[in-house]
């Protein structure tokens, strides 16, 4: 059976952080939420992964972030796990798979692994056992109407049924939106880019 993983991250943010490329002092893209789906070739879901992560450099979430994602301080303080634990678990989930993102999330993932290791923390598992691919260019080229939207709105601009509960900027919901867009394009006869499916 061929499977692959799609994933999405929510990371600390502030008003205008995106426009300023997180260039303000102390504004690091620390992961707060990881969502992922393991999918079969037909885009049916085999398994979900979700984790809340406690940021270290900026442990207090900004009001902007909470408004954007719906993730509040109390929930992260109560349910969040360390970055090292979450990253190791997620990389273990990805082992042996092609891992697809809608944008540069693998860069943010790498930054966070580096910061955890710089703090002297062990991150179990690594990148080499998985193949990370940004397929946003592929998706945007086949469906130009998606080019201006984030991953959580893909289902809307493609006029697809709502892909489950949740909302945009929740990592797992965004994964379902991403998966729905991939399934839609595959149903229209388009193949995933080379390297997106591994035979098990």
Q: What is the pLDDT of residues 158-172, one digit of tens each?
A: 999 999 888 999 999
Q: If we measure between CA atoms, which residue out of 54, 187, 172, 174 comes closest to residue 121? A: 54
Q: What is the pLDDT of residues 29-51, one digit of tens each?
A: 999 999 999 999 999 999 999 99
Q: Are 14 and 58 in contact (CB under 8 A)?
A: no
Dig out the tokens for 156 from the structure: 């809307």
Report helix angle 83-94 to 105-118, nearest 10. Answer: 130
Rounded CA-CA distance 42/182 in Å is 10
Rounded CA-CA distance 169/8 in Å is 9
- Domains identified in the chain and CATH numbers: 2-189 (3.30.420.10)
pTM for this predicted structure: 0.95
Residue 199 pLDDT > 70: no
Tell which wins on pLDDT, 18 or 182. 182
**What is the model's pLDDT at position 22?**
82
The position carrying tokens 């979700």 is 50
Residue 3 pLDDT > 90: yes
Q: In b/e form, how buried is each residue of 169-187, taking b as 16+ CB within 10 angstroms?
A: bbbbbbbbbbbbbbbbbee
């Amino acid at each position: 059976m061929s499977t692959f993983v799609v994933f999405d991250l929510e990371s600390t943010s502030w008003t205008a952080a995106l426009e300023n490329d997180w260039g303000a002092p102390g504004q690091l893209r620390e992961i707060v939420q990881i969502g992922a789906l393991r999918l079969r070739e037909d885009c049916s879901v085999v398994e979900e992964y979700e984790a809340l992560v406690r940021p270290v450099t900026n442990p207090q979430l900004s009001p902007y972030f909470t408004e954007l994602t719906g993730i509040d301080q109390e929930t992260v303080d109560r349910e969040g796990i360390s970055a090292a634990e979450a990253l190791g678990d997620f990389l273990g989930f990805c082992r042996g798979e092609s891992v697809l993102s809608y944008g540069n999330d693998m860069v943010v993932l790498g930054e966070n692994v580096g910061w955890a290791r710089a703090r002297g923390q062990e991150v179990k598992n690594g990148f080499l056992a998985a193949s990370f691919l940004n397929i946003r260019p592929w998706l945007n080229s086949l469906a130009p109407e998606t080019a201006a939207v984030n991953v959580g709105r893909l289902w809307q601009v493609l006029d697809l049924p709502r892909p489950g509960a949740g909302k945009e900027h929740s990592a797992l919901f965004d994964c379902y939106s991403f998966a729905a867009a991939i399934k839609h394009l595959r149903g229209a006869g388009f193949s995933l880019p080379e390297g997106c499916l591994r035979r098990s």
